[in-house]
A and B are shown apart, each in its own frame.
Chain A
Amino acid sequence: MKMAQNGSSFSELIRNAVEDWIIIPGKIIARNKRGLVGLIIALGYLFVGIVGTHIIQEPQSFTCIPYEPPSILKWPPSFEHPLGCDYIGTDILAQIVYGTPIVLQIALTAGLITTIIGVLVGLTAGFKGGMVDTVLTGITQIIMTIPGLPLIIVLSTVIRTYQPWTIGALIAIRWWTGLAMSIRSQVLSIKQRDFIEAAKVLGMKTHHIILREIMPNLISYIAINFVFAAVGAIYASVGLYFLGVLPISTYNWGVMLNMAYKQAGGGASVAALHYFLAPILAIVLLQTGLILLTYALDEVFNPRIRTEVS
């Protein structure tokens, strides 16, 4: 990446940024089929999450016609209701669409916070060493021991929040530890190499050298971890809504699963399956997309492949 010189114009700066962040990654992703599919899926969800709620009407109970209580399998997929309606006559597609922003917000927050804490703790422990390292590593390892999912469940009942952002932060509490430990060990291993010693002798700033040396390796690792944290957060949050331990304010995939689960059994099973399938597919497709996206991220931040396409 070229640095903008004092004399260089603003437009040149923009051009470089576009080249670095849009054109090159675009070229790389276009070459990688899995990554491309992943990106398309992820963007699709983003689109639904941002725009969908403005296009599709908010789901309301008893809107599917004809409504005849409380019979089951009343509303198979139709033209007006592509995914059919649930057992109280609420359009399923609308529920999925209105559940999307929450899931995405939770995933995004959890990904961001996981990454920030993980990178900060990992870099600090690795760079400072000594007491700081011992304490940070100790804390991280203790947190790793506490059963993650149960901890999140209890914390969510302690905090009792409706806010997707807070829920994301809650979930992140457990997920940063792995990232922190692996960043720490990468810093440690690079610190030991000879050229760092040599640079020290030459009076260079060690931190600068290490950062410049490890960042190319770390960036793709961090980006992939971000996605994995998001995948983990989707898993945990939908699961918690499914268990019914998180307070509900709006439509939500986990709640849909829970409703379907409660309706399942006996003669209702077939109808339940129909109602099940929508949230299940919504989750599975999103997770699949994100996992496929990691294949592209791996290459997007790989310096060798970057120079190959540019």
Chain B
Amino acid sequence: MDGSSSALKGYMPVLKWFTKRLLIALITIYFAVTLSFFVVKAMPGDPVQALIQMFVSQYYMDYDSAKSLAEAAAPFIPKGSVLHQYISYLISFLHGNLGVSISYSTGTPVKDLLIQSIPWTVLVVGSALIISFAIGILIGTGMAYVHGSKIDSFLAVFFSVIRSIPEYVVALVLLIVFGFHFKWFPTRGAYSPNVTPGFNLPFIKDVLKHAALPILSWVIVHVSGWALSMRASTVTVLGEDYITYAKIRGLPSRRILVSYIGKNAILPLFTSFMLSIGFMFGGSVFIEYIFAYPGVGNLLYQAITMRDTYLMLGVFNIIIVAVVISALIADILYGVIDPRIRRGA
């Protein structure tokens, strides 16, 4: 048969695919949430005792005031069997209730803490991702054009080494050099206490200054990964027959660069771009700790040092949901932008 009926296929298969994909996402979230619940609940020791110990060792309190503080938190610590706690957690999770924190001003809903910190992480992770992706694409394309040359193979090794350097090392160096030594950038927090939060220029400027070093730390490490992926992808595309044929047809080089090389080389990177969002959320602990940045990672760090079970679970589950949803969106968007997937190749 000379023809393709796929172009005429209706939307039924798309709908079916989408339902299935959504179902898998929900099941994944359920299992991941369950797994982390039991892991977190397995943390040893009596929570109140752990809390007392923490207050003593972290805040150098004397035992009595630590004890009274911890006991104030006691009513907020869920009781009953782990299974019972699990079921009531699931039920409240479905209602959007993530329990209360026992470390931050005791009794604050975990949800509120998350709502306060998510925007900061999104700001840093999001800008870092976009900046490093953009730079990486440019460098990678350039490397692919001179593929096999001395400069290309040098950069390839250089970037694969840079990629393996932990981002906390980069962050520490930036902190010491540009924060403490040159004092070009603030070293802690998301904004200075003397500016009024809101949509005003001084505040925005201040926020950007505070976010600069955290973003730069991510960018330095991540640019190399994107550059290497883009290089590999572009080298493949450059060897494709449709590039040669486009040149023969006399298409202007700008058109070839954008809709031929660019589009076809970036497409395969798209999925990992989306997935990175979720993973950078999870990896934000180090950088946010170093710059005392009030995002999700810092919240997790606090929760762990304070044995704040529900806060910990809250952060965990937010990250799990972020990972699963970004994978889901990646799949859907990929279908939209790559015609080969869209019409069901």
Interface check A92, CB cutoff 8 A:
no
Which residues of B are interface residues toward A (Cβ below 8 A)?
28-29, 31-32, 35-36, 39-40, 42-44, 157, 160-161, 163-166, 168-169, 172-173, 175-177, 180-181, 187, 278-279, 281-283, 285-286, 289-290, 300-301, 304-305, 307, 312, 315-316, 319-320, 323-324, 327
CB atoms of A270 and B181 under 8 A apart: yes
Given contacts A149-B283, A153-B300, whether A272 and B176 have CB atoms under 8 Å apart is yes
Complex-state Cα separation, A8 to B76, whole angstroms: 75
Identity of the chain B residue whose Cβ is nearest the Cβ of A141 in the assembled complex: B28
CB atoms of B282 and A148 under 8 A apart: yes
CB atoms of A150 and B169 under 8 A apart: no
Provide the residues of chain A in CB contact with B319, threshold 8 Å: 147, 150
CB atoms of A292 and B161 under 8 A apart: yes
Which residues of A are interface residues toward B (Cβ below 8 A)?
34, 141-142, 145-151, 153-155, 157-158, 160, 231, 235, 238-239, 242-245, 257, 260-261, 264-266, 269-270, 272-273, 276, 280, 283-284, 287-288, 290-292, 295
Out of B39, B164, B289, which one reaches A290, CB within 8 Å? Answer: B164
CB atoms of A243 and B289 under 8 A apart: yes
CB atoms of A150 and B166 under 8 A apart: no
A-B contact pairs, 27 of them (CB 8 A): A34-B157, A146-B32, A146-B36, A147-B279, A147-B281, A147-B319, A148-B279, A149-B283, A150-B282, A150-B285, A150-B319, A154-B40, A158-B40, A158-B44, A231-B164, A235-B164, A243-B286, A245-B301, A257-B169, A257-B172, A265-B187, A273-B181, A280-B169, A283-B166, A284-B165, A288-B164, A291-B160
Complex-state Cα separation, A151 to B40, whole angstroms: 9
Out of B157, B282, B285, which one reaches A292, CB within 8 Å? Answer: B157
Out of A147, A280, A287, A290, which one reaches B173, CB within 8 Å? Answer: A280
Complex-state Cα separation, A239 to B290, whole angstroms: 11
Identity of the chain A residue whose Cβ is nearest the Cβ of B324 in the assembled complex: A145
Complex-state Cα separation, A260 to B315, whole angstroms: 28
Identity of the chain A residue whose Cβ is nearest the Cβ of B160 in the assembled complex: A291
Out of B43, B157, B169, which one reaches A154, CB within 8 Å? Answer: B43
Complex-state Cα separation, A6 to B241, whole angstroms: 55
Complex-state Cα separation, A157 to B42, whole angstroms: 10
**Per DSSP, are chain A's interface residues mostly helix, strand or loop, or mixed?**
helix
Given contacts A149-B285, A150-B319, A265-B180, whether A155 and B304 have CB atoms under 8 Å apart is no
Out of B42, B166, B169, B175, which one reaches A264, CB within 8 Å? Answer: B175
B280 to chain A, nearest CB (A): 10
Identity of the chain B residue whose Cβ is nearest the Cβ of A268 in the assembled complex: B180
Complex-state Cα separation, A291 to B29, whole angstroms: 34
Complex-state Cα separation, A257 to B327, whole angstroms: 35
Complex-state Cα separation, A147 to B33, whole angstroms: 11
Out of A157, A245, A269, A291, which one reaches B164, CB within 8 Å? Answer: A291
Provide the residues of chain B in CB contact with A272, threshold 8 Å: 176, 180
Provide the residues of chain B in CB contact with A284, threshold 8 Å: 165, 169
Out of B39, B161, B181, B324, which one reaches A288, CB within 8 Å? Answer: B161
A132 to chain B, nearest CB (A): 18
A162 to chain B, nearest CB (A): 15
Provide the residues of chain A in CB contact with B279, threshold 8 Å: 147-148
A141 to chain B, nearest CB (A): 7
Can you name 20 extra interface pairs (CB under 8 A) apart from A243-B286, A245-B304? A34-B157, A142-B31, A145-B29, A148-B279, A149-B282, A150-B285, A154-B40, A154-B312, A154-B316, A158-B43, A235-B164, A239-B168, A243-B285, A244-B305, A245-B301, A264-B175, A266-B180, A276-B176, A280-B172, A284-B165
Provide the residues of chain B in CB contact with A160, threshold 8 Å: 44
CB atoms of B40 and A261 under 8 A apart: no
List the 9 shortest-distance A-B pairs measured between CB atoms, nearest first: A147-B282, A269-B180, A147-B319, A287-B164, A235-B166, A142-B31, A288-B161, A145-B32, A291-B164
Identity of the chain A residue whose Cβ is nearest the Cβ of B43 in the assembled complex: A158
Identity of the chain B residue whose Cβ is nearest the Cβ of A148 in the assembled complex: B282
Given contacts A147-B282, A242-B286, A273-B181, whether A142 and B35 have CB atoms under 8 Å apart is yes
Provide the residues of chain A in CB contact with B42, threshold 8 Å: 158
Identity of the chain B residue whose Cβ is nearest the Cβ of A245 in the assembled complex: B304
Provide the residues of chain B in CB contact with A295, threshold 8 Å: 157
Provide the residues of chain A in CB contact with B316, threshold 8 Å: 146-147, 150-151, 154
Provide the residues of chain A in CB contact with B312, threshold 8 Å: 154
CB atoms of A151 and B39 under 8 A apart: yes
Provide the residues of chain A in CB contact with B282, threshold 8 Å: 147-150
CB atoms of A238 and B320 under 8 A apart: no
Provide the residues of chain B in CB contact with A266, threshold 8 Å: 180
Provide the residues of chain A in CB contact with B166, threshold 8 Å: 235, 238-239, 283, 287
Provide the residues of chain A in CB contact with B301, threshold 8 Å: 243, 245
A169 to chain B, nearest CB (A): 15
